[in-house]
Structure 1
Amino acid sequence: MPPQHITSRQNARVKEAAKLRLARQRQQQGRFVIDGSRELLRAISSGIEIVEAFISESRCRDAETQQAAEAVSNSPAAVATVTEEVFEKLCFGERTGGVLAIARTPVRTLAALKLPATPLVAIIEGVEKPGNVGAILRSADGAGVDAVVIADPRTDLFNPNAIRASLGTIFDPNVCTATSAETQAWLRGLQIPAFAARPDATQLYTDVDYRGGAAIVLGSEAEGLTDAWSGDAVTAIGLPMRGIADSLNVSATAVVLFYEAQRQRGFPPGH
């Protein structure tokens, strides 16, 4: 059956999809938007369920976008071709690709994370900016971090800006959300030591041992980590700051810590 062709911005499917710009609508509908070809292909390969897709044929010029269009066309998703005007209503920001998909929000839990014997885990508590969440996830993927937990999130995990900044690495099954209390209990149960990045830490990040399994904990841009991560079970670590600023951006800090931990661990195969 050929896909539906939509020419009106007032089409019911288009109006419902456009609502997903808002976090409350993503929560209510249990769906979110994927508006990049690379991100969409990574979502599909990670098992994300695509329920609907809109294709602007005039924008499907490059091989990656054509591949994404073919992938959704061959899936069970309800696919529609749309005019340029309709596609502009649906897409977020300056995007040149011609495929936008609506996906069902997956349920990702701590219990479902699959870890090796001595894992390297990233914990991100209360980070407000979706772009920073995405950048940290991209860095974690690049460094070979085994799992990422977004603790007490202040933005929904599948915010379009987080998806974009992560380049689709956000769809890895070993990424989930939880409360800080749940995360701490999970770490205790697995006997994974926690190393919390704090501007006031007296111990340098290079002076601790990440080789036997470790959780690197990072806090929000404005407030840092809450007191929940300052107990005896948590080691505070810091980066030396040689200028007038007292800290780096959280995503920059994440890169330094992830790669130092993996340097000590000899880097996993393939990284």
Structure 2
Amino acid sequence: MNKEITSVQNTYIKALVQLKEKSRDRKKSGLFLIEGAREISLAIKGNYQIDTVLYLPELFSEEELNSLDIQSNSRIEISKEVYQKLAHRDTTEGIIAVAKTKTHDLKAIKFKSDQPLILVAEAPEKPGNIGAILRTADAANVDAVIIANPKTDLYNPNIIRSSVGCVFTNQIATGSTEDIISFLKEQHIVIYCAALQASEIYTTQDFTTASAIVMGTEATGLSNAWLQQSTQNIIIPMQGEIDSMNVSVAAGILIFEAKRQRNFK
């Protein structure tokens, strides 16, 4: 028989609320929340370990839960009040999972070919942009996404939501700019930095070799460390009044040009 929790004052529920709201608690416990059946399914596909599943039976039946084939330590039936306390989204799906985080170490990256395509984002701040970048990376099936000097942890509920679960489907690593540059050079990966200085139009470059496309923030661009180590700076020509576009949109343009050159392989 499944356990049942109906009170928002329950100690376990209070701990889960902290996981939802505070990065510090997620890092300390090694746990985070996943909301929604699609996102949970993608996490399972990405080999995430599910610790506990909580569901609101009025919205998500036990039959639906069984169909997800979730291997978890426990299932907990919760009340509407508890679900509303834990849910992050306005839409109500009725299911939340507690999952274990991964380490995302650079050394854990495994490439399937000798010509990997990698997307690097330096110090992205907005969870929505990170989520959109991860959706782009998933759509293009890049070999890895590397986040340099991250400003937020990957299990921020806004990243999970905006990535529609693609945070689980991509091979992701994090690290300092210096460590990532060293890693790319050790792997003999060409570094293409999206930057205004000393740049060439992106369509003139050959992205069929092992390539990393590096994006900076919209506000400050890339740090000097990247610009000094860049194999070639690239630019998307702007034809309007401004000289930049949303980082996730720019990443999509550059990544799909690389995929076009690779015949979408």
Shorter-normalised TM range? over 0.9
TM-score (norm 2): 0.94
Partner amino acid for 1:226? S
Which residue number in structure 2 is paired with residue 241 of structure 1?
238
C-alpha separation in 1, matches of 2:258 and 2:170: 22
Query: C-alpha distance in 2, partners of 1:164/1:79?
Result: 23
Q: Which amino acid aligns with 1:96?
A: T
1:53–1:102 CA contact under 8 A, matched in 2: yes
Partner of 1:228: helix, strand, or coil? helix
Q: Secondary structure at the match of 2:239?
A: coil
Structural RMSD (CA): 1.7
Q: Aligned to 2:90, which of 94, 97, 100?
A: 94
Instruction: Report the counterpart of residue 213 of structure 1 in structure 2.
Output: 210
Query: 1:7 aligns to what?
Result: 6
**Aligned CA distance change for structure 1 residues 245 and 87 (closer, same or farther; 3 Å):** same
Q: Which runs of 4+ in 1 moved over 2 A?
A: 69-74, 199-202
CA 1:218 to 1:193, structure 2 compared with 1: closer, same or farther past 3 Å? same
SS at match of 1:79: strand
Residue-by-residue CA offset, 1:79-117 (whole Å, 9 max, x unaligned): 211111110000103132111111111112212111111
- Asked whether the equivalents of residues 32 and 103 of structure 1 are also in contact (C-alpha less than 8 Å), the reply is yes
Letter in 2 for 1:225: L
2:16 is aligned to 17
Structure 1, residues 161-216: CA drift from partner, whole Å, max 9, x if none?
Answer: 11111121211362121111111111001100010111445311111110111000
How far apart are 1:222 and its partner, in Å?
2.1
Residue 104 (1) aligns with residue 106 (2): no
1:5 and 1:82 in contact (8 A); partners too: yes
Among candidates 56, 71, 85, match of residue 75 of structure 1: 71
SS at match of 2:110: coil
The 8 Å contact of residues 73 and 79 in structure 1, kept in 2 or not, is answered as: no
Contact 1:210 1:261 in 2 (8 A): yes
Distance 1:242 1:209 in 2: 23
Alpha-carbon shift at residue 157 of structure 1 (Å): 1.1
Q: State the match for 1:168 in structure 2.
A: 165
Deviation sequence 1:116-141 (CA, Å, 0-9, x none): 11010011110001111111111011
Cα distance change of structure 1 residues 117 and 230 upon mapping to structure 2, 3 Å threshold: same
SS at match of 2:221: coil
Aligned residues: percent identity?
A: 38
* CA shift for structure 1 position 232: 4.7
Query: Contact (CA 8 Å) 2:145, 2:170: kept in 1 or not?
Result: no
The residue number in structure 1 matching 2:124 is 127
- Aligned partner of 1:84 among 77, 80, 83: 80
State the aligned residue count: 263
1:127–1:220: 8 Å Cα contact kept in structure 2? yes
Give the aligned residue type for 1:29.
Answer: S
What's 2:144 paired with? 147
Q: Matched residues in 1 for 2:66 and 2:216: separation? A: 40
- Take 1:208 and 1:66, find their aligned partners in 2: how far apart are those partners? 52
The 1:32/1:107 distance shift into structure 2, 3 A limit, reads: same
Q: What does the per-residue CA deviation read over 1:20-50, in whole Å, with 9 as the maximum and x for residues that have no partner?
A: 1211211222211111211111001111011
* SS in structure 1 at match of 2:200: coil
Query: Is the CA contact 2:192–2:230 (under 8 Å) kept in the aligned structure 1?
Result: no
State the AA in 2 paired with 1:265.
R
Unaligned runs of 5+ residues in structure 1 are: none
Whether the 8 Å CA contact 1:131–1:161 is kept in 2: the answer is: yes
